[in-house]
Amino acid sequence: MVGEYRDRMRVLAFLNGTLADPDQPHIRVEDLGLMRGDGIFETVLVADGEPRELRPHLDRLARSASMLDLPEPDDEAWQRVVRTVIDNWPGGGEFALKLVSTRGVAPGGEPTAFALGLDIDEKVFRARDEGVAVVTLDRGIDPGLAERAPWLLLGAKSLSYAVNMAAGREAARRGAADVIFTATDGSVLEGPTSNVIIARDRTLYTPPPAIGILPGTTQAAVFRGAERAGWSTKIEPIRAADLASADGVFLSSSVRKLTRVHTLDGVALPDSSAIHAELAQAYEDVYA
């Protein structure tokens, strides 16, 4: 795993603007982000030197901080450190920029906060081009739980992603590359690191964040682009049973952009490459 990261281009800067060597140790072993996954993060796509959807990402970071009772993030400091990493990024094209902030070494202590630029895995580019096979997996929650039990932090982008990562491994065991989580009532939630968008009769649908999922910055950008290109958009519950009959099923996230689902639970979906090409272009046009 270390080797995997060492082979990748990275730029690290702490929130105070100090650049640091990503190959050196920086985090104390008692850091609650490490000990308990107690912290928050964002992953921003940087394309041609510009961070995409930075405002919504920073707003969501602040929302996650509030849900975890963490101090309000210093918005200007985050904007500055984003610029520092971008200005020091040696390559061109696209990279992923992680913004991470933990509870620090003790409750009430200073957060450990840094921005880490990382180049994008070849697999992600391939998935954007070729699409992915996905399995539906039960998340074991019902759509009212987020509202009933805010302490479960559903819809916060916390560092506790062990379940999300485990779902990815279960997908691999089932011969798929990704996951769509479903609720106990059979409705669609989100992917472990993505939102779900379906297309039907030139309307895009995605489930509402209130059911306990992350409000996606990419999903919002795709909807903006699609509306400009003449599509209608709706935020409303989707049934898992609706996926197979849609004109297209897609996963959206900052780094994967809009990725087409070509196979669901081992069954090939109708070919949505033309719709995908159109929507992917509409999304890029948002930044043209």
8 A C-beta contact, residue 198 and residue 248: yes
Q: How far is the CB of 31 from ligand PLP (least distance, A)?
A: 21
Phi, psi of 89, deg, nearest 5: -75, 125
Q: 160 is written with which tokens?
A: 């506790």
Q: How far is the CB of 203 from ligand PLP (least distance, A)?
A: 20
In the bound state with ligand PLP, the residue whose beta carbon lies nearer, of 136 and 219, is: 219
In the bound state with ligand PLP, the residue whose beta carbon lies nearer, of 182 and 252, is: 252
In the bound state with ligand PLP, the residue whose beta carbon lies nearer, of 111 and 192, is: 192
Q: How far is the CB of 60 from ligand PLP (least distance, A)?
A: 7
d(CA 34, CA 69) in angstroms, rounded, equals: 18
Please give the distance of CA 30 from its chain centroid, rounded to a whole number.
27
Instruction: Summarize as ranges the residues that interact with ligand PLP (CB under 6 A).
Output: 43, 190, 193-195, 214, 216-219, 252-254
In the bound state with ligand PLP, the residue whose beta carbon lies nearer, of 20 and 152, is: 152
Q: How far is the CB of 254 from ligand PLP (least distance, A)?
A: 4
Q: How far is the CB of 148 from ligand PLP (least distance, A)?
A: 20
Q: How far is the CB of 101 from ligand PLP (least distance, A)?
A: 16
In the bound state with ligand PLP, the residue whose beta carbon lies nearer, of 105 and 183, is: 183
Buried-state track 75-106, b at ≥16 Cβ within 10 A, e below 16:
eeebeebbbbbbeebeeeebbbbbbbbbbbbe
Q: How far is the CB of 25 from ligand PLP (least distance, A)?
A: 26
In the bound state with ligand PLP, the residue whose beta carbon lies nearer, of 101 and 195, is: 195
CA distances from 186 to 180, 220, 283 (A): 12, 24, 29
Q: 167 is written with which tokens?
A: 């779902």
- Per DSSP, what are the bridge partners of residue 46? 51, 95
In the bound state with ligand PLP, the residue whose beta carbon lies nearer, of 270 and 287, is: 287
Q: 24 is written with which tokens?
A: 């050196």
Q: Pinpoint the alpha helices (H) of the chain.
A: 2-6, 32-36, 54-67, 75-88, 122-130, 145-148, 162-173, 217-228, 240-243, 273-285
d(CA 45, CA 35) in angstroms, rounded, equals: 28
CA distances from 96 to 9, 122, 260 (A): 11, 13, 20
